């Protein structure tokens, strides 16, 4: 299955380089939805940022299907939703949820590894 991404490779600009990889849902990269929920867990290797980016409406069944998400450079996701950029240096355990005024800290924190 070939995914049709909302942004082309030519549209990706260097907005947040050097962070490494992150998991992101197709709801963002294919459907073009803004990041609705993001959290940071302990990275698994030196190329892993620990970040995961979701639109926020994904079901467990949707996320259980590995075809619905992939690993992307954090910079790529920053191009889809630049509002994440100021939050990227948040520590492991951080989580943010979209509110009517933008992304805000989620007091529940990141899901357990």
- The strand pair at 21-25 and 48-54 is best described as parallel
CB atoms near residue 111 (< 10 Å): 9
Indicate the pLDDT class of residue 2, thresholds 50, 70 and 90: confident
Residue 113 has pLDDT above 80, yes or no: no
Question: pLDDT per residue over 3-27, tens digit each?
Answer: 999 999 999 999 999 999 999 999 9
* Per-residue model confidence (pLDDT) at position 112: 80
Indicate the pLDDT class of residue 1, thresholds 50, 70 and 90: low
Lowest mean pLDDT among 50-54, 90-94, 107-111: 107-111
Assigned token pair, 113:
């590894």
């Amino acid at each position: 299955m070939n995914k049709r991404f909302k942004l082309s490779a030519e549209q990706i600009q260097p907005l947040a380089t050097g962070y490494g990889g992150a998991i992101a849902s197709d709801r963002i990269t294919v459907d073009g939805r803004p990041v609705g929920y993001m959290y940071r867990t302990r990275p698994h290797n030196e190329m892993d940022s620990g970040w995961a980016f979701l639109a926020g409406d994904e079901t467990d069944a949707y996320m259980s299907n590995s075809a619905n998400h992939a690993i992307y450079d954090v910079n790529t996701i920053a191009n889809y939703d630049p509002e994440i950029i100021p939050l990227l240096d948040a520590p492991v355990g951080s989580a943010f949820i979209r509110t009517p005024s933008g992304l805000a800290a989620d007091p529940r924190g990141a899901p357990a590894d």
